[in-house]
Amino acid sequence: MVGQRFIQLLENHPWFEVAWLAASERSAEKSYGEAVKWRMKTPLPKQIAEMKVSPAVANGSPKIIFAALDADIARELEPQFAENGSAVISNSSAWRMHPSVPLVIPEVNADHLGLIETQEWRKKSGGFIVTNANCSAIGLVLALAPLHAKFGIEKLFVATMQAVSGAGYPGVPSIDILGNVIPFIKNEEEKMEIETRKMLGELKGNEVQLADFGMAAHCNRVPVEDGHTESVSVSFKKKATAERILESWSSFRSVPQELKLPHAPAEPVIYDPRVDRPQPRFDVDRGNGMSSTCGRLRPCSLLDWKFTVLSHNTIRGAAGAALLNAELLKVKGYLG
C-alpha cells in the first residue's frame, strides 16, 4: 500500500525520480506491472509498470531509498542500505525508537535530524536512516504540536478509528471487517504512546528527551478505506481557551511551509467548525492528503478539552510523510 502511494506521489516530483524498485522474492525479476495489484485511484505510470523489480539487496542500489517494509524485514535490511551509503527514509517501526535515529515530522521536530550525525553508518559510508512515525501518531502530533508548544500537554487520551488501508495489502479479510469494528491492532497502542512523546520531545545534545506527559491510546480498526479518525481528550499545564487553541491551529506554519517544500501543505492543521466533521469520506484528502483536519473542539469533563482529528494514513501517515522528510533532507544538504 505504501509502496504504491510512493509511486503515485513521486510521479512528476520536481526533485526525485524513481530509478529502482525492490520488493520480496515473490516480486523480484517481474515487471512492476505484473508484480503489483495497483490500488491507487490514478493510473499506474507506464514507465513504472515496465520497470523490473529487483531483489532487495543494497549492492548497487540508489542513493535515496524510500522504504516501506514490514518491521521484521526492515530491522535487518535497512541498516544494510545505510551501511552501503544510502539515505534510507523509512516508514517502518523497526528503527524509530533507536536513540540515534530521528523520528521526524518536518513541521514539528525538523531539528531532530541532527541525530543523523551520531549514526555509525553515517560515519562509515555517509548513509543513514530517518523514520516517520506510525500513521495514527503523525496526524495526532501535527494537531498537538502547536498546542504543546504554547500550553504544555499534561495528560492525553486518544481513541482511534483506523482505516483498513493501514493494514497493508491485502490486509484485514473483508469478512472480518465489513459491518464490524476490531478493537485490536497489534503493537499500535504502544507505538502511539511512545512515538508521540519522542516527536514532541526535545533534542538535547545527542539525544531526544521524551516529552513529559502521560498518555493512553485505544486503537480500533474500522471499515473505512483511507483515513484515521481519532477522538482526543487533553489537559494542559497552562490554561488554554478555545479561542487560543483555534488560533494556534490556524496560525500554525513551520519549516516546510517556510522552505516551500513541494509536499508541504499550505495549512498543516485545518479546523472545520461544522458539528459533524471531520469525516474520512469527505475530508481525508484536504491539503492533498497532507493536512490534519480537526473538529468538534469542546470542553472535556475529565480533562480540559476534547476534539476530533482526521488524517490520511497512507499519505500524511506514510508515503507523503517520508517524501516531506526527504524534501527537508535535500534542502538541509543531507542528500549530497
Ligand X SMILES: NC(=O)c1ccc[n+]([C@@H]2O[C@H](COP(=O)([O-])OP(=O)(O)OC[C@H]3O[C@@H](n4cnc5c(N)ncnc54)[C@H](OP(=O)(O)O)[C@@H]3O)[C@@H](O)[C@H]2O)c1
In the complex, the residues that contact ligand X under the rule CB under 6 A are: 1-3, 23-24, 26-27, 56, 68-71, 73, 91-92, 135, 165-166, 168-169, 313-314, 317-318
CB 38, min distance to ligand X, A = 12
Do 331 and 261 meet the contact criterion of CB atoms below 8 Å apart? yes
Q: How far is the CB of 28 from ligand X (least distance, A)?
A: 7
Choose between 104 and 245: whose C-beta lies nearer to ligand X: 104
Location of C-alpha cell 541532527: 114
CA-to-CA distance for 217 and 231, rounded, in angstroms? Answer: 10
Task: Give the residue with the Cβ less far from ligand X, 254 or 313.
Answer: 313
How far apart are alpha carbons 302 and 286 in whole angstroms?
A: 31
Residue 71 vs 331, nearer CB to ligand X: 71
Instruction: Spell out the residues 6+ positions from residue 241 whose beta carbon is closer than 8 angstroms to its own.
Output: none
Q: How many CA atoms lie within 13 A of 293 on its CB side?
A: 24
The pairing of strands 228-236 and 305-311 is: antiparallel
CA–CA distance, 156 with 87 (Å, rounded to integer): 34
Q: What is the DSSP string of 231-268?
A: EEEEEESS---HHHHHHHHHT---HHHHTT-TT--S-S
Half-sphere exposure of 310 (CA within 13 A, CB side): 24
The burial class, CB within 10 Å (0-12 / 13-18 / 19+), for 332 is middle
Order of strands, sheet of 214-221, starting from the edge strand that comes earlier in the sequence? 214-221, 153-162, 228-236, 305-311, 292-299, 269-272
Position of minimal CB gap to ligand X: 168
- Of 55 and 99, nearer to ligand X (C-beta) is 55
**Where would I find the H helices in 265-318?**
280-283
112, 148, 219, 228: which one is catalytic?
Answer: 228
Q: Specify whether 13 is catalytic.
A: no
Taking the least distance from each CB to ligand X, the nearer of 50 and 169 is: 169
Minimum distance between the CB of residue 74 and ligand X, rounded to whole angstroms? 6
* Identity of the residue, 160 or 165, whose beta carbon is nearer to ligand X in the bound complex: 165
Say whether 305 sits in a helix, a strand or coil.
strand
Given the complex with ligand X, which of 76 and 276 has the nearer CB atom?
Answer: 76
- β-partners of residue 294 are 271, 309
* Catalytic member of 135, 148, 219, 263: 135
Q: Tell me if residue 98 is catalytic.
A: no
| Residues noted as catalytic | 135, 228
